[in-house]
A and B are shown apart, each in its own frame.
Chain A
Amino acid sequence: MLMFPSIRTSPATIATTGLVLLLALAERRCLADEPLPVPSASRYFQPDVEYVATLENCERHIMATEHRESWREIDWRPDLRSALKEARETGRPVLVFFFIEEFHDEGPT
């Protein structure tokens, strides 16, 4: 208070700030999961691989496979209308893969 006489700091403000900091620390501790078996790129394609759901394993999986571009070789149809037309003609079901290429700012919704 002596150093910053223009700022009025009530005990409630100090307590709230401390609580927020404690919560942030607790959340950070939760994020630090224990080290678990790593599904490397070679293990990923083995049928008996163990998939353990942790944030680290998921990130490692994405980093190990993100360079793969084989999906581009699939004969993706140019639009949904023609795909449905083709499906009706050939009697096959349609696989629709929904994605978002990049962030598009659409304004408030």
Chain B
Amino acid sequence: MCRSGSLSDSRVMTLLEDSFVPVQIDISQQGAELAEIAPGLAVWESVRRSHWKYRFGYATSVVVDGDGKRVLAASGWGRWWEYGTCANFNPDLYLAFLLTGQERHRRLTSLRAAPPGPERAAALGDLSREILDSLHAAYDAKTEKPRGEARRKRRPIYGEE
């Protein structure tokens, strides 16, 4: 779904080729070694183990720095009721997700190169909070499956706000 959708878009493919190191992970096969190789990604393995439903479907994208410790952006799950708001379906949103991850990586790299001090610590804290908020927005905020009338109601359309 995500691969034949957003990941097959030519703009996304060009950006990935130019500015990212893309890797696919079958989490049911390689999930156990994530904590050792990239500690920042271990939570995705623990999520997979948290519920039986993730044995049948699991598709999400994560941007992570070269150390594998700091997650920079994530695309969300792409459940059907997130159709229109999730990057997995919409190439424009996926492009925005990638550019956000790239921009945060640039900020993180420059902050790591900066001399230590209170300003640097504050900027790193701001970046961490921003990343955490975006992860919550990507995964937590849209986990409620609509029921009844709410299910039939039109969902917000991207760019309409």
Contact = CB atoms under 8 A, between A and B. Distances in A.
Interface string B85-98: 10001111000001
Interface SS majority for chain B: mixed
Given A84-B38, A88-B66, A94 B21 contact: yes
Contacts of A98: 25, 27, 44, 58-62
A57 B80 CA distance: 9
Interface residues of B, number: 70
A57 B16 contact: no
Contact of A53 (B24, B30, B64, B85): B85
B23 A77 contact: yes
B26 to A, nearest CB: 5
Contacts of A90: 21
B38 A65 contact: no
Interface string A43-73: 0010100111111011101100111111101
B33 to A, nearest CB: 8
B14 to A, nearest CB: 10
Nearest to A29: B148
B139 interface: no
Contacts of A70: 7-10, 13
Contacts of B151: 30, 33
Given A33-B152, A53-B81, A96-B23, A74 B66 contact: no
Given A30-B151, A92-B66, A97-B3, 7 more contacts: A51-B84, A51-B158, A52-B157, A61-B5, A68-B4, A74-B7, A95-B62
26 contacts: A30-B152, A34-B152, A45-B9, A51-B83, A51-B84, A52-B155, A66-B4, A67-B4, A69-B8, A76-B23, A79-B30, A80-B23, A80-B34, A83-B23, A86-B21, A92-B19, A93-B105, A94-B20, A94-B65, A96-B63, A96-B64, A97-B2, A98-B27, A100-B54, A100-B56, A103-B55
